[in-house]
Amino acid sequence: MSTPAAQLAQQHWNETPLFLSESERYGIYPWLPRAAEFSEHRGERVLEIGCGTGCDLLQFARNGAHAVGVDITDQHLELARQRVIGEATVLKADGANLPFPAESFDYIYSHGVIHHSDRPRAIVEEIFRVLKPDGRFNIQLYAAHSYNLWHCKRESPNDWRIRIENSIAAVHIDFYSARAARDLVASARQVRVRKRHCWASVRGHDISWLSQRFGWLLGYYVIVTGKRP
């Protein structure tokens, strides 16, 4: 079922695909390789939901995981396939309706995706279904309280929702407090919630040192990890 949010996502990212080189991406998100656990899943079956253009998916594969990425946007899928060239599997599928049998993956990762869905609980139910009994998830969501959001609302009070995605088209966006993130995965075990990243500049001056010191408080991403129920 294609929901309004899925249609907006496809329209936006088909028109303006989001492609960063590896050095650009991990320059902007220096904390991501560790937070995503790229090097900790050798030999495991790893699923990425909303793999975009495949940059993170490639890191799991290069580190020895059997990596599978799904996304709903054709342009992103095409760029992801070109990037991973045979090192990982890339499929078109909605996170709320995964084409995999129950208990197929050891680890499921999703960065910057579930807050663009109007069926976040359906995606989480699918994550729980396709994880193996002791499998773990790592979900990264926009934070309800962050320097970036505050700055964006201040600079663009009327169109901050569009600005925040660097887009000209509207996409569905939700923001999650730590509590809302915990509620989303309420039945999961060993849940841990952290915040990361508040890259920032003030009047043209780079103050990204803030992300090192205050990411836990002002960060743009809420990271929820845990084991399926």
Ligand X SMILES: C[S@@+](CC[C@H](N)C(=O)[O-])C[C@H]1O[C@@H](n2cnc3c(N)ncnc32)[C@H](O)[C@@H]1O
Which parts of this chain interact with ligand X (CB under 6 A)? 6, 9, 13, 18, 49-52, 70-73, 76, 94-96, 111-113, 116-117
> How far is C-alpha 66 from the geometric centre of its chain's CA atoms?
19
- For residues 80 and 69, what is the distance between their CA atoms, to the nearest angstrom? 9
Nearest approach in angstroms of CB 69 to ligand X is 9
**What values do phi and psi take at 19, rounded to 5?**
-120, 120
- With respect to ligand X, which residue has the nearer C-beta, 50 or 215? 50
Q: Which residue is nearest to ligand X (CB)?
A: 52
Q: Is there a contact between 113 and 142 (Cβ–Cβ < 8 Å)?
A: no
Three-class SS of residue 200?
coil
Nearest approach in angstroms of CB 85 to ligand X is 18
- With respect to ligand X, which residue has the nearer C-beta, 92 or 213? 92
Q: Which two tokens stand for residue 192?
A: 């841990």
b/e per residue, 79-96, with b = 16+ CB within 10 A? Answer: bbbebbeeebebbebbbb
- For residues 61 and 98, what is the distance between their CA atoms, to the nearest angstrom? 20
Nearest approach in angstroms of CB 212 to ligand X is 21
- With respect to ligand X, which residue has the nearer C-beta, 37 or 204? 37
Residue whose tokens read 């995965």: 185
- With respect to ligand X, which residue has the nearer C-beta, 16 or 207? 16
CA separation, residue 111 to residues 2, 34, 91, 162, 207 (Å): 21, 13, 17, 19, 24
- For residues 96 and 121, what is the distance between their CA atoms, to the nearest angstrom? 8
Nearest approach in angstroms of CB 34 to ligand X is 16
Nearest approach in angstroms of CB 178 to ligand X is 21
- With respect to ligand X, which residue has the nearer C-beta, 172 or 207? 172
Nearest approach in angstroms of CB 203 to ligand X is 27
- With respect to ligand X, which residue has the nearer C-beta, 51 or 210? 51
